[in-house]
Amino acid sequence: MQTHQYEALIVGGGVAGLMAALYASRGAKTAVISKLYPSRSHTGAAQGGIGAALGNLEEDRPEWHAFDTVKGGDYLSDQNAALVLAEEAIDAVIELEHLGLPFDRTEDGRISQRRFGGHTSGFGGQPVRRACHAADRTGHMILQTLYQQCIKNEVKFFDEFHVIDMIRNGDTVVGVIAVNIDSGELHVFHSKAVLFATGGWGRVWEITSNAHALTGDGNAITYRRGVPMQDMEFFQFHPTGIYKMGILITEGVRGEGGVLLNDRGERFMERYAPSIKDLASRDVVSRAIYLEMKGKRGIKGQRYVHLDITPETVNRYLAEAGDDRRITREYVESKLPDILDFCRTYLGVDPVKEPMPVQPTAHYGMGGIPTDLDGRAVIDAQGTPLPGLYAAGECACVSVHGANRLGTNSLTDLIVFGRRSGKHMAEFCQGAEFTPLPDNPTGEIEAELERLRQANGSRKPYELRNEMQQVMMEDVGVFRTAEGMQQAVDTMRKLKEEYQTNLSIDDRGQRFNSDLYEAWELGCLLDIAEVTAVSALARKESRGAHSREDFPKRNDETWMVHTLAYQTEDGSVALNHEKPVDMSLAEKDEKFVPKERVY
Ligand SMILES: Cc1cc2nc3c(=O)[nH]c(=O)nc-3n(C[C@H](O)[C@H](O)[C@H](O)COP(=O)(O)OP(=O)(O)OC[C@H]3O[C@@H](n4cnc5c(N)ncnc54)[C@H](O)[C@@H]3O)c2cc1C
Residues 295-323: tens digit of each pLDDT: 999 999 999 999 999 999 999 999 999 98
Pick the residue with more confidence: 392 or 597? 392
pLDDT at 42: 97
Q: Best mutation site among 411, 412, 416 for ligand 1, i.e. most ligand atoms within 8 A of its Cβ?
A: 411
Distance of CA 29 from the midpoint of ligand 1 (Å)? 24
**Does the pLDDT at position 164 exceed 90?**
yes
Asked whether 207 and 362 are in contact (CB, 8 A), the reply is: yes
pLDDT of residue 158: 98
Secondary structure of residue 548 in the 3-state scheme: strand
Q: DSSP for 293-315?
A: HHTT-SGGGSS-EEEE--HHHHH
* Segment 337-355, tens digit of pLDDT: 999 999 999 999 999 999 9
Distance (Å) of CA 215 to CA 221, 324, 363: 11, 46, 12
**Is any atom of ligand 1 closer than 6 Å to the C-beta of 34?**
yes
Is any atom of ligand 1 closer than 6 Å to the C-beta of 47? yes
**For 102-155, how does the pLDDT look when each residue is reduced to its tens digit (9 = 90+)?**
999 999 999 999 999 999 999 999 999 999 999 989 999 999 999 999 999 999
pTM of the model: 0.96
| CA 14 – ligand 1 centroid, Å | 6
Q: Where does the pLDDT of residue 449 fall: very low under 50, low under 70, confident under 90, or very high at 90 and above? A: very high
25 in contact with ligand 1, CB cutoff 6 A: no
CA-proximal residue: ligand 1, atom 4 (nearest): 46
What are the CA-CA distances from residue 188 to residues 41, 244, 543 (Å)?
23, 41, 42
On the 0-12 / 13-18 / 19+ scale of CB atoms within 10 A, 320 is exposed
Mutate which of 11, 15, 47, 410 for ligand 1? The one with the most ligand atoms within 8 Å of its CB, which is 410
CA distance 426 to 362: 35
Render pLDDT for 41-73 as a digit per residue (tens, 0 to 9). Answer: 999 999 889 999 999 999 999 999 999 999 999
Establish whether 282 is a catalytic residue: yes
Tell how far the Cα of 565 is from the centroid of ligand 1, in angstroms.
23
The CB of 48 under 6 Å from ligand 1? The reply is yes
Q: Return the DSSP state at 393.
A: G
pLDDT of amino acid 598: 86
Question: What is the gyration radius of the CA atoms in the chain, in angstroms?
Answer: 23
Q: What is the pLDDT of residues 561-583, one digit of tens each?
A: 999 999 999 999 999 999 999 99
SS3 assignment, position 187: strand
pLDDT at 599 over 90: no
Contacts of 91 (CB under 8 A, 6+ apart): none
Strand partners, 11: 33, 196
Give the integer Cα–Cα distance in Å for 59 and 68.
Answer: 15
Which ligand 1 atom is the nearest neighbour of the CA of 221? 41
Contact 250, 336 (CB under 8 A): yes
Q: Is 41 in the pocket of ligand 1 (CB under 6 A)?
A: yes
The confidence band for 441, taking pLDDT boundaries of 50, 70 and 90, is very high
Task: Please check the confidence at residue 94 and state whether its pLDDT lies above 90.
Answer: yes
What is the predicted pLDDT for the residue at 393?
98
Q: How far is the CA of 43 from the centre of ligand 1 (A)?
A: 4
Question: What are residue 161's DSSP bridge partners?
Answer: 180
User: Among the options 282, 420, 453, 554, which is catalytic?
Assistant: 282
pLDDT (tens digit, 9 = 90+) per residue, 519-545?
999 999 999 999 999 999 999 999 999
Give residue 197 CA to ligand 1 midpoint distance, Å. 8
* Tens digits of residue pLDDT in 461-494: 999 999 999 999 999 999 999 999 999 999 999 9
CA of 199 from ligand 1 middle (Å) equals: 4
Tell which residue, 567, 546, 519, 536, has the closest CA to residue 215: 519
pLDDT at residue 494 in the model: 98
Q: Would you say residue 156 has pLDDT above 90? A: yes
Report the C-alpha gap between 272 and 548 in whole angstroms.
Answer: 18
The CB of 72 under 6 Å from ligand 1? The reply is no
Between 161-175, 183-197, 313-327, 377-391, the lowest mean confidence (pLDDT) is in 313-327
Share of the chain above pLDDT 70, in %: 100
Through-space distance between the first and last CA atoms of the chain, rounded to whole angstroms: 57
pLDDT band at 1 (very low <50, low <70, confident <90, very high): confident
Domains of the chain: 240-361 (3.90.700.10)
pLDDT mean over 441-467: 97
The answer to whether residue 249 scores a pLDDT higher than 90 is: yes
Among residues of the chain, what percentage have pLDDT more than 90? 97
Mean pLDDT, the chain, whole residue set: 97
Q: Which long-range contacts (CB under 8 A, 24 or more apart) does 573-581 make?
A: 573/530, 573/531, 573/534, 573/535, 575/534, 575/535, 575/538, 576/228, 576/380, 576/381, 577/538, 578/381, 579/230, 579/370, 579/380, 579/381, 579/383, 580/381, 581/75, 581/76, 581/77, 581/78, 581/79, 581/402
pLDDT for res 68: 98
Burial class (CB in 10 A: 0-12, 13-18, 19+), 454: exposed
Locate the ligand 1 atom nearest the alpha carbon of residue 412 and give its number: 11
- Does residue 484 have its Cβ closer than 6 Å to ligand 1? no
Q: Is the CB of 408 under 6 A from ligand 1?
A: yes
* CA of 294 relative to ligand 1 center, distance in Å: 32
Which amino acid, residue 116? F
Q: What are phi and psi of 514, to 5 degrees?
A: -65, -25
Is any ligand 1 atom within 6 A of the Cβ of residue 195? no
* Pairing between β-strand 369-370 and β-strand 259-261 as defined by DSSP bridges: unpaired
